[in-house]
Structure 1
Amino acid sequence: MSHRKGTLTEEKIIEATWKVLGEVGIEKFGMRKLADELHIKAASLYWHFQSKQSIFQTLTNEVAKDTLLNLERKEKWDDQLLEIGKAFRNSLQKYPCSAKVIMKSLPNELQYLKLLNIILETIDFMPITDEQKLANVMCLLNYIISYEDDAYEQKQNEETLKEGEYVYDLFDKAVQQLPDEDSYFIKKIYKASRQKMQSDKIFEYGLTIIIDGMKARLTV
């Protein structure tokens, strides 16, 4: 069923965008595919969005809004940063390709700026320069986004493999082919952690490393 001009809304376009991204990935996403999903001509989309980039900006805003809606307030600053990191990652996992979308977007959407403001407010007490505070925020956000982007890339890689092949299995075979003198430590660590490399526990451990680094700066 096609959308008449009067029934096509921004909300319907965004909903369809997430659907298309989930089906084809960000690499194959385009205005024409989106129009096909909505059963309209691509030109009709430009009544609502000037470009694919403007759609990505709106998607970024939606992810940030979802994060804020599900964010719990904590008394201690380090607990608050951990909560922000977990809530942001949960939102990224909820929306397909969202880490890639954010990486392609400018950080100037209202809800995203609100998220940045909350993080800056959380660390505002620190006796460091404003530039250093911003660097802390960027380090935190880049870790979260990159973590989910890595999970997306792994999934994309697995889709190119033959049936029955897995990324971890191929990596394991490569490691096993290394001489023992060149691979003892990587074999030991990889064997113990290969099933946990994308786990919540490992993600949160990485967050605590960043937060502990911020704590260390307080004693310098």
Structure 2
Amino acid sequence: MTKSGEPLTRQRVLEAALRLLDQEGLEGFSMRKLGTLLGVEAMSLYNHVENKRAVFDGVIELLIIQAPLPLQPDATPREELWTFAHAFRDVLRAHPRVLPLVATSPLRTSASLAMLDHLLETLHQAQITGVQSIYALQCLVGFIVGHTLLVTGTQAVAGLEPGPNGPAVWQHFPAEQYPTLHTLLPVITQWTPDREFDFGLQALFQSLFEQ
């Protein structure tokens, strides 16, 4: 039983693990702390998850299934993947301290692999098949995770002090040393991470779907 009096389940363990990661990051996570959060001994957790690696795999699963592909029957593969990319990015932005885990962990749970299979099938529908479909999906996920990590910055990495984010950082360096950067300062106000994300996604999709 959890401290709320509810039965301990894999789902409750994973949801609590995600909360703990949001609070402590990877560097502060432990099975002991997870047990304390749930109000149980750490050993009780192993009735529901094999080990800490299985907990992390399950946390990634929780994030992935929050960003399902749209179910509209008339959506094109490009439209489906565009929607998924934005939905997954929104999930990741809500959990910046889990980003390093997502960036470095292969998918291993049944639910995660089901989403992977669905995404690959969507690419196959666009005639992107074989190893090319794997390359395409890796590039897509890499862009989503990488861009989100760049934008969230110090929220995702322990021990770093917050500072200027985005191109606005350029104005802190002398114009005589970096003249081209400084010619762009007047248009920095037009920059937003959302527009930058869409620009990069459009460039990637142009390569994938408009050959």
TM-score range, shorter chain: 0.7 to 0.9
**Gap runs ≥5 in structure 1:** none
- Report what 1:177 is aligned to: 173
Deviations 1:73-113 (A, max 9, x none): 35333222211211221222344534333234322322222
How big is the shift at 1:127? 5.5
Q: Cα distance 1:191–1:58, how it changes in 2: closer, same or farther (>3 A)?
A: farther
Quick one: which of 182, 196, 203 aligns to 1:202?
Answer: 196
- Report what 1:20 is aligned to: 20
In the alignment, the residues of structure 2 paired with residue 99 and residue 179 of structure 1 have an alpha-carbon distance, to the nearest angstrom, of 34
Quick one: which of 179, 187, 192 aligns to 1:192?
Answer: 187
Q: Secondary structure at the match of 1:88?
A: helix
Matches within 5 A, 1:106-121: 106-121=106-121
In the alignment, the residues of structure 1 paired with residue 32 and residue 95 of structure 2 have an alpha-carbon distance, to the nearest angstrom, of 21
Matches within 5 A, 1:81-100: 81-95=81-95, 97-100=97-100
- Report what 1:154 is aligned to: 154
In the alignment, the residues of structure 1 paired with residue 25 and residue 70 of structure 2 have an alpha-carbon distance, to the nearest angstrom, of 28
> TM-score with structure 1 length normalisation?
0.78
| Paired residue total | 210
Deviations 1:132-180 (A, max 9, x none): 121011100111112222334332569743xxx63339x73x7543352
How big is the shift at 1:210? 0.7
In the alignment, the residues of structure 2 paired with residue 112 and residue 190 of structure 1 have an alpha-carbon distance, to the nearest angstrom, of 42
Are the counterparts in 1 of residues 96 and 156 from structure 2 also a CA contact under 8 Å?
no
How big is the shift at 1:21? 1.3
Q: Cα distance 1:75–1:33, how it changes in 2: closer, same or farther (>3 A)?
A: same
Q: Cα distance 1:33–1:167, how it changes in 2: closer, same or farther (>3 A)?
A: farther
Q: Are 1:214 and 2:211 counterparts?
A: no
Q: Are 1:167 and 2:164 counterparts?
A: yes
In the alignment, the residues of structure 1 paired with residue 158 and residue 30 of structure 2 have an alpha-carbon distance, to the nearest angstrom, of 23
- Report what 2:59 is aligned to: 59
Amino acid at match of 2:41: K
Amino acid at match of 1:204: D
Amino acid at match of 1:36: T
In the alignment, the residues of structure 1 paired with residue 75 and residue 119 of structure 2 have an alpha-carbon distance, to the nearest angstrom, of 14
Are the counterparts in 1 of residues 151 and 165 from structure 2 also a CA contact under 8 Å?
no
In the alignment, the residues of structure 2 paired with residue 187 and residue 2 of structure 1 have an alpha-carbon distance, to the nearest angstrom, of 57
In the alignment, the residues of structure 2 paired with residue 206 and residue 56 of structure 1 have an alpha-carbon distance, to the nearest angstrom, of 29
**Gap runs ≥5 in structure 2:** none
Amino acid at match of 2:154: Q
> TM-score with structure 2 length normalisation?
0.80
How big is the shift at 1:53? 0.9
Amino acid at match of 1:40: V
In the alignment, the residues of structure 1 paired with residue 61 and residue 87 of structure 2 have an alpha-carbon distance, to the nearest angstrom, of 15
Q: Are 1:133 and 2:129 counterparts?
A: no
Are the counterparts in 1 of residues 26 and 97 from structure 2 also a CA contact under 8 Å?
yes
Greater CA deviation, 96-105 or 42-51? Answer: 96-105
Amino acid at match of 1:188: T
Amino acid at match of 1:184: P
